[in-house]
Structure 1
Amino acid sequence: MLALLLVITSVVTIRRMGTDILPEIDITSVVVVFSYNGMSPDDMEKRVVSGFERFMTTTVNDIERIESQSLFGMGVIRVFFQPGAKIEAALAQISVIAQSSIRSMPPGMTPPIIMRYSASNVPVLQAALGSDTLSEQQIFDLGNVVIRTGLVTVQGAQIPNPTGGKQRLVMIDLDPVRLRSYGLSANDVVEAIGIQNLNLPGGTAKLGEREYPIRLNSSPASLAEFGELPIRTVDGGLIQLRDVAEVRDGFSPQTSLANVDGRRGVIQTIRKVGNASTLDIVERVRAGFDRILATAPPELKVDLLGDQSVFVRAAVHGVVVEGLIAGGLIGLLILFALGSWRSTVIVLVSIPLSVLTSIIVLDACGQTLNLMTLGGLALVVGILVDDATVEIENFHRNLGLARAAGEPTNVLAPIILRGAAQIALPSLVSTLCICIVFIPVLFIAEPVRSLFVPMSLAVVAAIVTSYLLSRTLVPTLVQYLLQAEAQHHRQRGPIAAIHGFGEAGFLRLQGGFSAALDWLLHRRWLPTVGYLLFIASAILLAGSLGRDLFPAVDSGQFRLHVRLPPGTRIETTELRAEQVARFIRTQIPASEIERIITIIGMPSSPINLAQGDPTMVSAADSEVQVNLTPGHHAPTADYISRLRPLLAEAFPDVLFFLKPADIPSQVLSFGVPAPLAIQVTGPTGNQAANLVLARRIREELSKVPGAVDVRLQQVLGVPEFRVDVDRVTAADQGLSQRDVANSVLTSLASSSQTSPGFWLDPVRGIQYSVAAQQPQYRVASLDAVRDLPVSRGENQARLADLASIRRGTTSANITHMNAASTYDVLAGADGTDLGSVASAAREIVARVTTDLPRGTTVTIRGLADSMDKSFTGLAWGVLFAILLIYLVLVINFQSWIDPLIILAALPAALGGIVWILHATGTTVSVPALMGAILGLGVATANSILVVSFANDQVRAGASPATAALRAAVTRLRPVLMTASAMIVGMLPMALALSEGGEQNAPLGRTVIGALIAATVSTLLIVPIIYSLLGGRKRHQIHEASP
């Protein structure tokens, strides 16, 4: 009944559990985005961002670090908090301080966008919006108003603003010539619009017995009426808006463009939130689009791209198939090893029950079905066989002994209880040891810990369940299913024939093994030397293994960043990005390209900037996203390696670098735009020296073999014009610095920031911004800038009459770490492992930082830093786990010597791991180390069985050498069966045959390597060591005897 209840509960649980590629990463930050149209990065840093950073340090609690980036017109501040901090309280504190800090910022500054952001918030789907007849304004409007609103109810989805397109607004194009002829400036027009275009109600009037609402025509009813708005009376004549400007249904100057296969369009990105299921989100979004498009204009075309659910579904399906294949192979192995289909059924029944129970536990802990948890369950299939197999094998052994002793076998209960009692405690200790080895997961640094804690939870829950089932359900099934076999010793049929053939072979193997081990026990030096040589070779070989935080996963797409020389305008950037896209098409077969998307310029929306990557910092930046045909393309890494030199040769003035495209890479690189980041941080006074140091590091790092995409994160040398106003001259003409600043800002960056206005479209019922500025095509020369009109009242002048204009340079982005200025050297690795590049980077940093300016620090961040912290944490965790295992064994065996004998198999297991990683060309990664940890636990479990049996023989009066020989020979079958079952179960995972299988392949390979070496060590080295040290145990036993 309990087993049936588990099945029913698990089915209900699986149906409602979320499915995703990775578990939720428990790293949450708060993002604050200030926007001020036209403000330079330098002013944004000094006048907005720096002040707000200082405000937060005195008001907001539990801050771990503050990162910021000041861009043209925007400032992004990311606040990371200490583990356990209450994000809701932090949001409230930041919101309060943001409101009060605005008073110290430039006039016209609006409250910032404040939002919570997690590493798990990644794009899962993109919708390309286009049309043959609709304008870009209309397409953007449909995306922003109709589609975003229609999808906002999708649970777990986050819908940012559309990318690309033209954001609709009422554009008032000022004519500078007409303005000068009437003695007006841009400010005069803006003030008049603000007076004439109001959003004020009229109230109500009670007339007689009724109350009437009073509605005024405070705002023009149509765009045509805007042209009739009065500006000023000049020489007795009324100047209207149409006399000095053109009013049109227009769009704001584009700072972001999106092209799909070379055609202009609008990209609507859908992101997942927290631990929401990617599959559920995409399914609901697709259904939402069907509903929305049924009411949208038929001219609108929507193409869904970048569907991550395809990869997630294929990856999850692959893991499940791997688990089923492993279960099938293990079933066949057990069937032919035991020669009984009934025994095989008993063994195999415990596997799904243990897995289903683990799923119930995962759901209770708030976890999802993902590659990590499913990978853990696929991994544990081989281990789950161990408990039931040992139980069944021990029953058959006791049944044979009972027959040999002439005991009745018609009643199985005494035999079952005797066999269960013999292995209950050793199996419990083995189970505890396997569970203990997962303690190192708690020592891993975030974000990697959030990935492997669910996997460890899945494994531990399944192993504990398997132990309980082997003590309860398995003996019960033996009682009911094996009664007939116990009465009829001889089996018939093909399975029995194969079993008989295998049994004869095993008996020959057992006899040969017994003779060989007996021979070695008399020549202990020989296996000891071989064992030490194997360990020494592994130690020497370990230094040549590469190191990566996580294996690369081929998601069938790559993202190429294209950066033109600083100051390049967005139109030129678009042309060059499309040239790059066409060049890529010449290098990849057309049948393998599904779609190429180009995103040009920095995000125009503060929300998109907060959620996007920090590399799109100016109009000179673009991204070419190549989506390959699912299931029909060569390895993505091969294309990337081939394109790097070709692109550099074809476009020598362009900087190219790759950005993470798959979900695991995006999650693990949260907050850092490259796998390796060397950050030079220091006070403002050290900026010049720090820049020299950063450039030197970049130069040295670019010479390291395998280091690619080496660059500075900060874009320097952006050309600018600096306008130096002569305040005395301006005052002589009745003008002030404010008049000049407002006139220039309105003419070049519109009035939307300092004098925001709005107009309600009476037909659509949507409110649009009203902005006045000079059209960009009218300000196409430096002379046009000099001729900008400046006026106040009757006083008027040209900008050139009041100021001098000179050339200068600035930065496109200015970054801070904890309010200190930073320069970041970024790099990746290609053709080598990340660990080698990181090691070279550390040597470079040590060499060039012998004499740092006071207050300057150099740190390594990114995946390289997470890798080092994770590896260090795992190393300490493994040592702690081994200590706990030793103490548990000491308590169980009541001996300090026996645990050391058991643990003697662990160095061999480590050696096997090193050799298999070297043989398969696999780097050391966190998944590989997780497999190593599990391999150590299984190696310990097998050794426990051998030493426990040897101790029983010593108690019976045998010598240590004889006891060791009998234990190894007797336990040869269960040790080989469990090891073989696990190795066979790991093969599908180790071969990485499924989509996304690269992620867990190192885990399977290390387990196989550990088991092969540990099995040999358990059967040869442990008995030899026992024969050497077991004499003390015999002495203790005889001393304790009465």
Structure 2
Amino acid sequence: DGAAIRIRDIASVEDTFRRITRVARINDLEGIRLAVYKQSGQNTVKVVEGVLKEIKSLQEDYPQFKFITLRDSARYIRNAINNVGNSALYGGLLAIFVLLFFLVNIRSTLVIALSIPISIIATFTLIYFNGFTLNVMSLGGLALGIGMMVDSSIVVLENIFRMREEEGKPLLQAAVNGAKEVTSAIIASTVTTVIVFMPMLFVRGASGIMFKQLAYVVAFSLACSLIVALTLVPMLSSKILKEEEMGKHNPGSGLAVKAKQVFARMENSYKNLLEYSLHHRPRVLLITGALLLVSVFLFRFVGREYMPQTDEGEVSITVEMEVGTRLSVMDQKLREVVNLAKMYVPEIESIEERAGSGGWRGGANQGNITLKLVPKAKRTRSSLEVAADLSRKLSGIPGALIRVRASGGQMMFGMRGGGGTERLQIEVRGYDMKVAQALAGQVRDVVKNIRGVTDVRVSRLEGTPERHLVVDRQKASDMRLSVNQIGNFIMTILSGSQASYFREGGREYRILVRIKDAEKLDINDILDLTITNAIGEQVSLRNVVEVREERGPQQIERRDRERIITVLGEIADRDLGSIIRDARRALRTIPVPRDFVINFTGDYEEQQKANRELMLAIILALFLVYMVMAMLYESLRDPLIVMFSVPLAIIGVVLMLILTNTTLNVQTYIGLIMLGGIVVNNAILLVDYTNLLRRRDGMELMEAIKEAGRRRLRPILMTALTTIIAMVPMAIGLGEGSEVQSPLARTVIGGLLSSTFITLVVIPVVYSLFEQRKDKKA
């Protein structure tokens, strides 16, 4: 009739808050969690410093609020960088002590030690002008190169010493001739070491991104050390060292005399061993071959994984209850778990709780708790040990499925492949959702029985109970109703529809229109409601809709446009390779329907990609080493003799990995690539000096081999031990982030130890065989 009807006459108007759909608490206080992500290509530490500065300003502006930093990636990165820097410093000091032990002369040690800071300073110019940052990889490259930086200087200075002591040449002439005599050898050694890093520049994927800076830094630092060895060391030797210190008639201190006697006995003993080996060459080669075969056999006992697990000081707890659980019930369960965590984990620094549908997946039946632990130096347990112990303690809580895991590799390497953070991921591909769900359940049941697999779950959560109101299009059309009209009507009834905005005091508020107490309405009450059609008639909702009870998936995942379900699990006390091998065997018992595929993804997929790239890099590196030596020697035979030292490194690598319980991962592969260029250096010194004695002094073959071995023994031991000792702090792996570089250092140490000592015997034997065969043909 045109009469005005006020809203208050037909509805109640309430000024209230939106319904709570999620819970967030920080250290038992209600809060709001804000995550800040850096832009691609930006420096994490700088971004975090800027954010923390703004937070400090906000705290001053709003003292009634408390701003707490829950997760600071920059702190872990800074600590990791500091630890690598300390490893480099300790390694450099240890290398200097090794030099002092062999040289027993402070001035001589100082001459060689100067090559370390000069090479490092020169390398920092490369880092600056190439736009590199100081990170774990770039500083790790310096730490790895510390011991190798002095190798060329050692060879030069030791040869100067030998010419002055044994041949009695004046100091200036000894400096010039001594450097000149070994120039070709140290150039070959340095170039072969540097050239192995070239293939790493072309490695694709995450491995290429991570190790590109390491390759540049190590290569440039070694190139700088070569220049220092050929220029600065001879000059300083002629200026700083005293004639009487190097004279053969000066007895020196008692310690120096004893050291010379020890080295003389060691050289003579080695010469006798070499003479025995040259007379029993088949036996030597047979023993070496047997050691290689044993090493290859033992290689199967070395575990395999993608990246080493790191201790980032975080433990994550996932609490899952039945689908449809109310948020209030989930909140009570979270509080119960947090109280137990406080009881069992005294290392907690802060606690973050969250539950509800606040993310891209999950609902009120899921909750997460993140325990931030105190720094690694202040606790006796690793995050993995804390997670394992807490998992056992929380397993008895009724009414909830609780998974506990340590965060490892997230701050250092980012998200893992495959769509989750779990280390074990098995993907089920197929279109039919019911068949895929059943198949994923079978995979889960099989995988959870494998030793070492924990916290197995399926990515597609159980569907929530739903009632589908399906519109009968024909009936709706007959009653002059559209599907859109019916849908909007149902939405207004159940969840409300936004009518407009209310503006007051410069603020804007949403106006939501809904049925009062809609969540308490029975399905029949909803169906009895009427909707007005196009001609103004009232139509009962039950006349145009049909009710179907179903379970709807909470999310549908796709990869490469195919529907997938992922079975995820954590790994404890075993390596990924062993788990995958057992899982493959177990999954063969599951019949896979047509058009369905089961694949391993995540860490395993990334590991396989990296392995293919790095294996190709190893082959290419060895080929480049051989070609470089062939060009420098202008021979194909001598480089082949030198290359016999490469497989000898495998003996030490396998034993080191087994004894230290280190897995074969991306870091280990990088160590193997480095070994390809390092282990040939000792053989280069032996072969090059033997050729020199035969060519210049006209020595017989056997005499030249024995004399070259005696003269080159000390520089070989010095260069090998300085490299090995300098890597010991990194190999021990103390402090945050040390797990990243320790496998690499252990690989190099093990390979260098076996290759150095076996090379001293095997290379002269192989050289004699090749040369005698050549002489017979001549």
- Name the TM tier (shorter chain): over 0.9
Q: CA deviation at 1:816?
A: 1.1
Give the partner amino acid of 2:358: P
2:208 aligns with 449
1:892 aligns with 632
2:587 pairs with 1:839? no
Q: What's the TM-score once normalised by structure 1's chain length?
A: 0.70
2:356 aligns with 601
Contact 1:558 1:661 in 2 (8 A): no
Indicate the larger mover: 791-800 or 808-817.
791-800
1:725–1:889: structure 2 CA closer, same or farther, 3 Å change rule? same
Q: CA deviation at 1:444?
A: 4.5
2:741 pairs with 1:1000? yes
State the aligned residue count: 773
Give the partner amino acid of 1:387: S
Residues of 1 paired with 2:515 and 2:726: CA distance? 71
Match of 1:619 among 347, 361, 364: 364
Match of 1:466 among 214, 218, 225: 225
Match of 1:723 among 457, 469, 481: 469
Residues of 2 paired with 1:661 and 1:265: CA distance? 26
Q: Indicate the SS of the match to 2:154.
A: helix
Q: Indicate the SS of the match to 1:881.
A: helix
2:23 pairs with 1:276? no
Alignment of 1:351-370 (within 5 A): 351-370=116-135
Instruction: State, as a whole percentage, how many aligned pairs show the same letter.
Output: 27
Residues of 2 paired with 1:337 and 1:518: CA distance? 25
Give the partner amino acid of 1:654: L
Residues of 2 paired with 1:327 and 1:483: CA distance? 25
Match of 2:750 among 1002, 1009, 1031: 1009
Can you list the C-alpha shifts for 1:849-890, whole angstroms capped at 9, x where unaligned?
Answer: 6x6514x43332111111122123222221222122122222
1:643 aligns with 390
Q: CA deviation at 1:946?
A: 0.7
Q: CA deviation at 1:736?
A: 3.7
Residues of 2 paired with 1:398 and 1:292: CA distance? 71
Contact 2:26 2:350 in 1 (8 A): yes
Residues of 1 paired with 2:235 and 2:494: CA distance? 84
2:188 pairs with 1:429? yes
2:5 pairs with 1:238? yes
2:720 aligns with 979
Can you list the C-alpha shifts for 1:661-694, whole angstroms capped at 9, x where unaligned?
Answer: 5534661515520223222223x3x444444433
Give the partner amino acid of 2:699: A
Alignment of 1:876-915 (within 5 A): 876-915=616-655
Q: CA deviation at 1:927?
A: 1.1
1:582–1:427: structure 2 CA closer, same or farther, 3 Å change rule? same
Q: CA deviation at 1:280?
A: 2.4
Give the partner amino acid of 1:285: V
Contact 2:387 2:404 in 1 (8 A): no
Residues of 2 paired with 1:996 and 1:771: CA distance? 52
Match of 2:52 among 286, 294, 319: 286
1:358–1:792: structure 2 CA closer, same or farther, 3 Å change rule? farther
Q: Indicate the SS of the match to 2:350.
A: strand
Alignment of 1:733-812 (within 5 A): 735-752=481-498, 757-762=500-505, 765-774=506-515, 778-779=519-520, 782=523, 785-786=526-527, 790-791=531-532, 794-796=536-538, 799-800=541-542, 802-812=544-554
2:675 aligns with 935
Residues of 1 paired with 2:13 and 2:109: CA distance? 85
Q: Give the structure, 1 or 2, with the largest relative contact order (CA under 8 Å, sep 6 or more).
A: 2
Give the partner amino acid of 2:193: I
Contact 1:710 1:828 in 2 (8 A): yes
Residues of 2 paired with 1:550 and 1:661: CA distance? 10
2:178 aligns with 419
Q: CA deviation at 1:527?
A: 2.3
2:571 pairs with 1:829? yes
Match of 1:394 among 156, 159, 162: 159
Can you list the C-alpha shifts for 1:753-773, whole angstroms capped at 9, x where unaligned?
Answer: xx6x444452xx454544334
If each structure's strand is expressed as a fraction of its own residues, which one has the higher value?
A: 1
Give the partner amino acid of 2:363: S
2:557 pairs with 1:815? yes
Match of 1:515 among 253, 272, 275: 272
Q: CA deviation at 1:896?
A: 2.7
Contact 1:440 1:873 in 2 (8 A): no
Alignment of 1:529-678 (within 5 A): 529-589=286-346, 592-603=347-358, 609=360, 616-630=361-375, 631-633=377-379, 634-651=381-398, 653-654=400-401, 656=403, 658=405, 660=407, 662-664=409-411, 667-670=414-417, 672-673=419-420, 674-678=422-426
Residues of 1 paired with 2:310 and 2:14: CA distance? 53
Alignment of 1:339-350 (within 5 A): 339-350=104-115
Q: CA deviation at 1:722?
A: 1.1
Residues of 2 paired with 1:643 and 1:777: CA distance? 42
2:692 aligns with 952
1:896–1:734: structure 2 CA closer, same or farther, 3 Å change rule? closer
2:84 aligns with 319
Can you list the C-alpha shifts for 1:950-976, whole angstroms capped at 9, x where unaligned?
Answer: 112232433333222222211100000
Give the partner amino acid of 1:517: L
Residues of 2 paired with 1:977 and 1:666: CA distance? 36
Residues of 2 paired with 1:894 and 1:727: CA distance? 87
Residues of 1 paired with 2:396 and 2:469: CA distance? 39
Can you list the C-alpha shifts for 1:595-645, whole angstroms capped at 9, x where unaligned?
Answer: 1111213336xxxx5xxxxxx433322211011122333211112122334
Q: Indicate the SS of the match to 2:554.
A: coil
Contact 2:315 2:404 in 1 (8 A): no
Residues of 1 paired with 2:517 and 2:348: CA distance? 37
1:894–1:574: structure 2 CA closer, same or farther, 3 Å change rule? same
1:982–1:491: structure 2 CA closer, same or farther, 3 Å change rule? farther
Alignment of 1:484-495 (within 5 A): none
1:737–1:857: structure 2 CA closer, same or farther, 3 Å change rule? same
Contact 2:618 2:672 in 1 (8 A): no
Q: Indicate the SS of the match to 1:516.
A: helix
Q: CA deviation at 1:907?
A: 1.5
Q: Structure 2: 5+ residue runs without aligned partners? A: none
Q: CA deviation at 1:476?
A: 2.6
| Aligned-residue CA RMSD (Å) | 2.7
Alignment of 1:295-314 (within 5 A): 295-296=61-62, 298-314=63-79
Q: CA deviation at 1:243?
A: 4.2
Q: Indicate the SS of the match to 2:6.
A: strand
Residues of 1 paired with 2:567 and 2:291: CA distance? 42
2:761 aligns with 1020
Q: Indicate the SS of the match to 2:664.
A: coil
Q: What's the TM-score once normalised by structure 2's chain length?
A: 0.93
Q: CA deviation at 1:310?
A: 2.5
Residues of 2 paired with 1:797 and 1:731: CA distance? 12
Contact 1:927 1:999 in 2 (8 A): yes
1:500 aligns with 257
Give the partner amino acid of 1:331: I
Give the partner amino acid of 1:473: L
Contact 2:165 2:248 in 1 (8 A): no
Contact 1:689 1:853 in 2 (8 A): no
Give the partner amino acid of 1:435: V
Q: CA deviation at 1:503?
A: 2.3
Residues of 2 paired with 1:429 and 1:795: CA distance? 96
1:920 aligns with 660
Residues of 1 paired with 2:161 and 2:679: CA distance? 24
